[in-house]
Amino acid sequence: MRVLFYGTPEFAVPTLRALLEEGFDVVGVVTRPDRPTGRHRSTATPSPVKVAALGEELPVLEPERPSAEPFLQTVRDLAPDCGVVIAYGHILSERLLGIPRLGHVNVHASLLPHLRGAAPIERAILEGRTETGVTVMRMDAGMDTGPILRQVGTPILPDETGGELRARLSELGALALVEALTLLDEGALVPQPQDHSCASYAPKLRPEDERIPWSKGASDVARQVRALDPRPGAWCECRGQPLKLFGGRVDERSGRPGEVLAAGEVLVVACSEGAVAVSDVQPAGKGRMTAQAFANGRKVAVGDVLA
C-alpha cells in the first residue's frame, strides 16, 4: 500500500517508523515548515517528523496551506492509496481527503466518540477517567467524527502522567493503525459510524487550566499535576515566582490551602482536603529538578504558602 504520512511532533514518529517496518510504501511525509527558534529567532528548526523522514530518506512536503491547489496536485501526482494523519496540526479539506482511493485515516488518543478534540490525553486524566484507548478512524469534514475502523482500550494506570500515557498510546496506536490499514486494503474492514449522541469533548488546554487551585481537593490537584506532566506543566507561585510541579500524588497530611507541609525528597503542599506530594519542580528560567534539589537551594521551606 502506498501511504502519504502527515505529522509534526515527536510522538508521531513511532507510527511513521512502524509503517516502514511493516513494509508500507511511504511515498511522502507532510509536516509543518521549519520554525524560527533561538533568542533572535534566527535558526530554522525542523519538526521531529521531518528529522525522522530525512533520516529514512523519504520525500518531505512542507506546505504552508495544505488546502492550496499546488499541494493538492502534488498529492494527486504521488497517487497514495491512503493518507495517514498523526497530529499534523491542520484541518484537511474535503477535496484533499478524497484524493486517495481509501481516503485519509487518523489515529485519535481516545475511545471515540468520547473525548473528541485537541487534548484527549490530558482531559482523560483531569476528569479522573480510569480507561481510555486509541481509535483509528476514516476522516471526514468534522472534528473526530469519522467512522471507526479499529479501537483498542487500555486502563489509565494509577499516578500515570500525561507523558507516560501518551507514550503508551503512541505504541498502541501504531499497532492498531497497521492492523487497520492491512484489513482496509484487503477489503476486510467495514467502517462503523460513531454514535454522535454519546460524544464528549476534550478542548485545547487554556492558560487557566495550568494554574493550580489549592482551594480544590488533593485528588483534583494531583490529577492536574499529572495530566500536564511534562508539558505544559501545572504551576503556582512560590515566593512570588512561577513554579511548575510534576509527579503529583495524593498525601494524607493536611493544612491550610497552599501551605508547604514538607520540603525534602518530596514537596508536600496542602489542599482544601488532604495534600499533594510532588517529586520534581521547575522554577522560572530553569530546568526541571528534583524537589530535594530545590529545597536544598533554600528556594522553599516548610511554612511557605504557595499561591
CATH 3.40.50.170: which residues of the chain? 2-198
The model's pLDDT over 47-95, given as tens digits with 9 standing for 90+, comes to 999 999 999 999 999 999 999 999 999 999 999 999 999 999 899 999 9
Give the predicted TM-score (pTM) of the model.
0.94
Q: What are the DSSP calls for 70-121, one per residue?
A: HHHHHHHHH--SEEEEES--SPPPHHHHTSSTT-EEEEESS-TTTTBSS-HH
Give the residue from 132, 126, 304 showing the smallest Cα distance to 208: 126
Q: Percent of the chain beyond pLDDT 70?
A: 99
- For residues 81 and 24, give the distance between their C-alpha atoms in angstroms, rounded to a whole number: 11
pLDDT at 152 over 80: yes
**What is the C-alpha end-to-end distance of the chain, expressed in Å?**
55
pLDDT at 39 over 70: no
pLDDT of 40: 65
User: How is residue 201 written as a grid cell?
Assistant: 469533548
What mean pLDDT is predicted for residues 29-52?
A: 88
Q: Indicate the residue type of 2.
A: R
pLDDT at 156 over 90: yes
* Residue with cell string 505544559: 232
- The SS3 of residue 280 is strand
- The SS3 of residue 161 is coil
The model's pLDDT over 183-208, given as tens digits with 9 standing for 90+, comes to 999 999 999 999 999 999 999 999 99
The model's pLDDT over 8-27, given as tens digits with 9 standing for 90+, comes to 999 999 999 999 999 999 99
- Helix then strand count (H, E) for the chain reads 9, 17
CATH class of the region 2-198: alpha beta
CB neighbourhood size of 192 (10 A): 12
Q: Indicate the residue type of 44.
A: A
CATH 3.10.25.10: which residues of the chain? 207-296
What CATH number belongs to 207-296? 3.10.25.10
pLDDT of 36: 85
- The SS3 of residue 278 is strand
DSSP 33: P
- Kind plus residue range of the DSSP H or E element containing 181: helix 162-185
Q: Indicate the residue type of 215.
A: S
- Which residues, listed in sequence order, are joined to residue 237 by a DSSP beta bridge? 242
- For residues 173 and 64, give the distance between their C-alpha atoms in angstroms, rounded to a whole number: 27
pLDDT of 37: 76
**Phi, psi (5° rounding) for residue 120?**
-70, -30
pLDDT of 43: 83
- The SS3 of residue 208 is helix
Task: Compute the 3-state secondary structure of the chain and give helix, strand, coil in percent, each to the nearest 5.
Answer: 30, 25, 45
The model's pLDDT over 157-178, given as tens digits with 9 standing for 90+, comes to 999 999 999 999 999 999 999 9
User: How is residue 127 written as a grid cell?
Assistant: 476528569
